[in-house]
Structure 1
Amino acid sequence: MYAALWRILPGPAWVRVVILLVLATAVLAALIHWVFPWAADTFLPQESTVEQ
């Protein structure tokens, strides 16, 4: 998968690295702003119990 992604990106190696860093930053920002808060509200850890 990573090799295929590397092959489809345009430009020399340094441009590909910059593009991948920008994409990784965008994905991380989306996770922090939308996915993690949704998961925290949906799966409340206070309501789960572990029986002993």
Structure 2
Amino acid sequence: MYTLLWHALPGRWPVKVLLLIIMAVAVFFLLMEVVFPWVSALMPYNDVAV
């Protein structure tokens, strides 16, 4: 999977590394801003029964 991604990116290896870093940061921010808050609303953290 990573080999396909590496070969799909344009440029020489420094450009590919920079693009991979940018893509990893974009995925991180997407998870933190969209996915994790949505999942957190579905979790039963506030349903505490003693």
TM-score w.r.t. length of structure 1: 0.83
**Change beyond 3 A, Cα 1:47–1:15:** same
Q: CA RMSD in A?
A: 1.6
Aligned amino acid, residue 35 of structure 1:
V
Aligned amino acid, residue 14 of structure 1:
P
Q: Aligned equivalents of 1:14 and 1:41: distance in 2?
A: 40
Percent identity for Structure 1 against Structure 2: 37
Gaps (5+ residues) in structure 1? none
| 1:34 alignment counterpart | 34
Question: How many residues are aligned here?
Answer: 49
| 1:10 alignment counterpart | 10
Larger relative CO (CA 8 A, sep 6+): 1 or 2? 2
TM-score w.r.t. length of structure 2: 0.86
